[in-house]
Amino acid sequence: MNADIAEYRRRYDAHLQTVAAGLERYIKECLCNVPHVDRVTARAKDPDRFAVKAQCPDERGRQRYLHPLAEVQDQIGARITVFYLNDVAQISQVTERYFRPIEQRELVPESEWEFGYFGRHFVLALPRDVVPEAVPLEEVPTFFELQIKTLFQHAWSEANHDLGYKAPRALSRDENRRLAYAAAQAWGADRLFEELRAEILP
């Protein structure tokens, strides 16, 4: 386990940041004529976060990852932020045109009475085009994670990551309710903008 974490740190410094930058460029090229794309970003997972994830237990308290380097699928993560809800579907189609998925999920809260994280996630084969020739292929993950979100979904999840997920203490019921309220407002804003887009830019 520790050997995997140390090896990840070495790979991160040696190659992964370069590969992530290459992936970002590659995705931008694939989307070059697609409208309403606000931003494309890609990053290699921070080594400290990799270490935490590599050691996290599963639901039964056992070690979730026995071979983290081969098993953690978001060592490289990319995000496409778009203007409107309809763009998420459009970009998903473009994604499937240029990348091979082994997973795709629409992330929504479990209950229709809940508001929280929304977004579309893919696990995709990493194109070899983004790996510089000098980098050994066996030191680069086979897959990467891609998120496609609207600006409002992204804004809420970033703030929630900071204030909710990484909160230094347990949140009160009222604080949780306010985070959910903010998610509901982001959800509502997305709906309104999508309706306006359909009316104004059919």
Helix (H) / strand (E) containing 63: none
Whole-angstrom distance, CA of residue 160 vs CA of residue 200 = 32
Q: How far is CA 182 from CA 84, 162, 175, in A?
A: 18, 14, 11
The CB-of-112 to other proteins minimum distance in angstroms stands at: 19
Whole-angstrom distance, CA of residue 184 vs CA of residue 10 = 42
Q: Binding other proteins by CB under 8 A: which of 10, 39, 49, 67? A: 67
Site for other proteins in 13-32 (CB under 8 A): 30
Q: Which tokens go with 87?
A: 């763009």
| Range list of β-strands (E), the chain | 37-44, 76-82, 101-107, 119-125, 143-150
The CB-of-163 to other proteins minimum distance in angstroms stands at: 30
The CB-of-45 to other proteins minimum distance in angstroms stands at: 15
**Is residue 8 within 8 Å of residue 47, measured between CB atoms?**
yes
Should residue 66 be labelled a site residue for other proteins when binding is judged by CB under 8 A?
yes
Should residue 131 be labelled a site residue for other proteins when binding is judged by CB under 8 A?
yes
Total binding residues toward other proteins, as defined by CB under 8 A: 29
Should residue 152 be labelled a site residue for other proteins when binding is judged by CB under 8 A?
no
Residue span binding other proteins (CB under 8 A) among the ranges 43-51, 59-67, 162-170, 173-181: 59-67
Interface residue list for other proteins (CB under 8 A):
30, 65-67, 70-71, 73, 96-106, 123, 125, 127-133, 142-143
